[in-house]
Amino acid sequence: MFRKLRRVLCAVATALVLPLAGVHTADAADAPGAGYWHTSGRQILDAAGQPVRIAGINWFGFETGNHVVHGLWSRDYKSMIDQMRSLGYNTIRLPYSDEILKSGTVPNSIDFSGGKNADLQGLDSLQIMDRIVAYAGQDGLKVILDRHRPDSGGQSALWYTSSVPESTWIADLKALAARYRGQDTVIGIDLHNEPHDPACWGCGDTTVDWRLAAERAGNAVLSVNPDLLVFVEGVQTYNGVSGWWGGNLMGVAQYPVRLNVANRVVYSAHDYATSVAQQPWFSDPAFPANMPGVWDKYWGYLFKQNIAPVWVGEFGTTLASATDQKWLAALVSYLRPTSTYGADSISWTFWSWNPNSGDTGGILKDDWQTVDTVKDGYLASIKAPLFPGTGGGSGGGGGGSTASCSAAYTVSSDWGGGFNAEVTVTNTGAKAIGSWKVTWTWSGSQQVTSMWNASYAQSGATVTAVNAAHNGGVPVGGSVSFGFGGAPGGGAVPSVSCTAA
């Protein structure tokens, strides 16, 4: 119902940001996610028929006037992908506009100083996208291409405009599908971002019926690359009931998307909090207990009734209000924790990696390096294992027989009554490690109040933190991190020990 205000703040950072060490997934034959994927009922399955869960992040910029992902004015693209991986995100959604397929489109705002982004010099937007896809695949991440808007000027209600007709939209989708044919890092294409009024679902008018347009475009994509998943977002209004742009999938029950290749459709919903816009359910006296019923009505029924997989392609918030905090906690619970349900869960990509989304902020803070550990911590229970990498990235395996690690403890904020801290675990041995444990003893009365990207036990002043399922594996020289909140503040930084296996 409401336009999301993506106020892009593109000030170029001047500080040199050091790349983070990368982490890799071993190419284990039995690791979920290998090959191209397909659907069965509400699940997404890999080439071997194993269920997989998309648990990822949006990294925007190709759809803007920069014609390339944002943040490259501050950091090397490889260091950002490595950091995504170290935090446990297994998929990147890459928004783009059709402008990047035009000849002569030149990416801008990339910093090449100090060796950053050296291999991107002289490349056009599509060639840079190639490099991002290749490196993400090496790191064990998948990529979903998102046709976000026809041009960099702004979002469009329909999939076409007077300057970008449907024929161009379809031709460009086919061109990208063909470009990445045979590269199973790219698992699918999100056909168009956030269709909204006057877009309809099932009304039969080919000029505004998004369901029929999705069938035309989806079949065109599969005609050149039949292995891809086709991600289809909802609309704004169905039978007089309105919701978020792209978030209303009520019409699927009567009018499903029919494609020429079976088991390729994944339905995508978007859902936001009050930092984006108000909705009536936020002022319901029952909030947040009313939210599962809201999600059931708009899109959750597809998963619960085993109709099709659901992927929440965008959701985000600044977390500035108590309402938004309750909303995010409720949504994370609704998406189902991986530890309980595994990949039989709703897939997702959080909005956004970028800090310069004006109405949500991002996982990164404004320096394009520091992690918002509180926001990232909300997502810890729904993160999922990474996928087999294609090899050749920044990390490596390693021979030898010694498994060892070190840990660095840093306080990120302290307000007296409490504090937040981050611990970075680095593989200092001669072989890849599969698990790690970090221990420290405080000199005061501090207690852990919450922890993300690790589990913990505390006995007196001694804390033992053990890796989560998604970040136990660390290659030689690689690093991962976890964070926690504690109370009271004002304590000294303790000595930490790390053991690896």
At 493, give phi and psi (nearest 5°): -70, 125
At 141, give phi and psi (nearest 5°): -105, 150
| Structure tokens given for 20 | 């983070």
All residues at 6 or more sequence positions from 177 whose CB lies less than 8 Å from its CB, including other chains: 189, 221, 222, 224, 225, 228
Query: How far apart (Å, rounded) are the C-alpha atoms in residues 101 and 99?
Result: 5
At 354, give phi and psi (nearest 5°): -65, 140
Query: How far apart (Å, rounded) are the C-alpha atoms in residues 292 and 335?
Result: 10
Query: How far apart (Å, rounded) are the C-alpha atoms in residues 186 and 345?
Result: 21
CA proximity to 110, closest of 19, 20, 12:
12
The DSSP secondary-structure symbol of 300 reads I
Instruction: Give the active site residue among 63, 99, 215, 314.
Output: 314
- For the residues of 40-60, what is the DSSP string, one character each? ETTEEE-TTS-EE--EEEE--
Neighbours of 401 (CB within 10 A): 7
Query: How far apart (Å, rounded) are the C-alpha atoms in residues 66 and 147?
Result: 16
Q: β-pairing, 237-238 with 447-452?
A: unpaired
- C-alpha distance across the termini of the chain, in Å: 51
Instruction: Give the active site residue among 63, 194, 215, 233.
Output: 194
Neighbours of 457 (CB within 10 A): 11
Query: How far apart (Å, rounded) are the C-alpha atoms in residues 328 and 313?
Result: 15
Query: How far apart (Å, rounded) are the C-alpha atoms in residues 305 and 242?
Result: 22
Assess whether 314 carries a catalytic annotation.
yes
Amino acid at 204: G
Query: How far apart (Å, rounded) are the C-alpha atoms in residues 268 and 373?
Result: 27
CA proximity to 130, closest of 83, 66, 176:
176
Query: How far apart (Å, rounded) are the C-alpha atoms in residues 271 and 314?
Result: 6
Helix (H) or strand (E) holding 295: helix 291-295
| Structure tokens given for 148 | 């976000």
SS3 for 138?
helix
Catalytic residue numbers, as ranges: 194, 314
